[in-house]
Amino acid sequence: MTPIYNYINRRTFLSNTGLSFGSAALLSQLVQAQEGVSTYPGLSGLPHHKPKIKRVVFLCMAGGPSHLETFDFKPQLNKLNGQPMPDSFTNGQPIAQLQGQKLKVQGHLTRFQKHGKSGQFISDYMPYHAKMADDISVIRSMVTEQINHDPAHTFMNTGTAISGRPSMGSWINYGLGSESSDLPGFVVLTSVGGRNPQPIASRQWGSGFLPSEFQGVEFNSSGDPVHYVSNPAGVDRNHQNALIRTIRRLDSQRNKLVDNPEIATRISAYEMAFRMQASVPELTDLSSESQKTLDMYGAKPGDGSFASNCLLARRLLEKGTRFVQLYHRGWDHHGDLDKYMKICCGLTDKPTFALLTDLKQRGLLEDTLVVWGGEFGRTPMFQGKGGAGRDHHIKGFSMWMAGGGIKPGLSHGETDELGYNAVKDVVHVRDFHATLLHLLGINHHRFSKKFQGLDMRLTGVEPAKVIKEILA
Amino acid sequence: MLVKEKRERLDHIFIIALNRSPSEEERKELGELFTYAKSDFQKNPDSAKALINVGLSLAPENLDAVELASWTTVTRAILNLSETTTRN
């Protein structure tokens, strides 16, 4: 059995390359690390081409934000408000909760205006997004294949509705390795606020058949970010180091005998955990952030809000975390859409603007990709759980991307006159994955892992294409 | 090398956790950890007392705090081994 990948041991690396400690600034993370500590450098042969971005932050508006109250303006929808939804749209189409009910058109619940030089339509619910009109590239023609939350999230994260496949953050770290020696390469933070928060399974950031060291690590957004991050009373860092070193040596000896990749994973997890005991308190100590920055995000340290998570995301990206995913759980607006759009946008609109602005000001946006979107959109048809709302919808919805390699201020694709079907430049979730990998320097056709006799890929075997039109 | 009593104690702990005797190499690693822990706790006896009183049950007062804390460090290592927590 061959090892799943080769670690670079600090000493081996230094002796093989003949680098001295002084000249190897590039290896600072290895040099400062403890004896024997290794960082995974990614698969050999990757990247396939010159990457445009190094890192990704995915702002997941969990629950399925309405494209018809955010980005997708359809005058015809307002004209037909209250009238029966034409059968030509809905016959034979999958429907979540409105099955068997009389379908009628629900007009936009707010006004849309053109913003910026690009003149992108953005709704009045999102005044801070309006300011970003010339920075973001809005895809108005997304489609997915799953109409309920959990499978739709699974589809968005793994490219399939079958549970247990690796999520995109795991794929990316498996392919490219981590840029941080003391924080995980894939971190997840969640926040709530809005209607009836849907649960998010930790499976959504699972690594599937990839080694489990590539799974996402969820940080708690309030309280201790990581449970038991401190040493027990009476144990200082040197003492803990001696303990971890002994565990590493004994586990390594064992692994020589049984050669189990999960022991290798465990050894690296223990090393990472030890380094995180120092790095996590530093990461979440926001005292070095100016009041101006805190105000820009609207973040109160430790409040667990989307705003605080955005600020933590920036700090993680700055420290080399490859893939950060923020879930804001509250967008499942079957009813009282107006009320809940105000709540959800109130909690997420400004922090999103702050994150983009902050990344830009620090020069990070040019090699960072920011993605905004949910697991699906919402129906042009009325649903009335409480006040006017909308049901789940998968045939057309909006997402946006901004940052490195993305043409700013672009509107890409269109839905039909009622915002039901994506009709022009349709973008499937697989196309999004192909584009994401492309920006990271990876050809999705050639990025696979053997599993159960198949060459498994994030983009699967069905057609997937890079969205060339949105690339800068 | 460990003196005989320590060696027996270490073997006893190891067998309880792993259902086998330690190899010479494992004895050496854990013995070194014990030596380190003991010298550390001898310098910082308050730390030893703090460690052995983590958790709900109080440490028996008739036991030497430094000795107990040092063995606590050794058992933390053993209980955290892959072989202890998984089948292989």
Question: Chain B residues with CB inside 8 Å of A253's CB?
Answer: 23, 25-26
Least confident of A140-144, A185-189, A242-246, B4-8: B4-8
Per-residue pLDDT band at A126 (split at 50, 70, 90): very high
For the stretch A372-409, pLDDT in tens is 999 999 999 999 999 999 999 999 999 999 999 999 99
For the stretch A10-31, pLDDT in tens is 334 444 444 443 333 333 333 3
Nearest chain B residue to A238, by CA: B40
Measure the CA–CA gap between B29 and B11, rounded to whole angstroms: 13
Measure the CA–CA gap between A81 and B67, rounded to whole angstroms: 79
Residues within 8 A of A (CB atoms), B 1-20 only: none
For the stretch B18-71, pLDDT in tens is 999 999 999 999 999 999 999 999 999 999 999 999 988 888 889 999 999 999
Cβ pair A385, A70 in contact under 8 A: no
The residue of B14, B54, B76, B82 whose CB has the most chain A CBs within 10 angstroms, and thus the best one to mutate to test that interface, is B82
Cβ pair A180, A317 in contact under 8 A: no
Once rounded to an integer, what is the mean pLDDT over residues A179-192? 94
For the stretch A290-330, pLDDT in tens is 999 999 999 998 899 999 999 999 999 999 999 999 999 99
DSSP state of A104: B
Whether residue A246 and residue B29 make contact (CB cut-off 8 A), yes or no, is: yes
Cβ pair A285, A249 in contact under 8 A: no
| Domain segments of chain B as ranges | 4-85
CATH class, domain A35-223+287-470, is: alpha beta
Residue B3 has pLDDT above 70, yes or no: no
Query: What confidence score (pLDDT) does residue A249 get?
Result: 97
Measure the CA–CA gap between B77 and B31, rounded to whole angstroms: 11
Least confident of A10-19, A115-124, A440-449: A10-19
Among the partner-chain residues B54, B77, B88, the one whose CB lies closest to the CB of A258 is B88
Residue A237 burial (C-beta neighbours within 10 Å; 0-12, 13-18, 19+): exposed
Whether residue B77 and residue A250 make contact (CB cut-off 8 A), yes or no, is: yes
Q: For chain A, what is the mean pLDDT?
A: 91
Q: How crowded is residue A48: how many other Cβ atoms within 10 Å of its Cβ?
A: 17
Structure tokens at B73: 């460090």
Structure tokens at B27: 């004895």
Four-point Cα dihedral A260, A261, A265, A266, nearest 10: -10
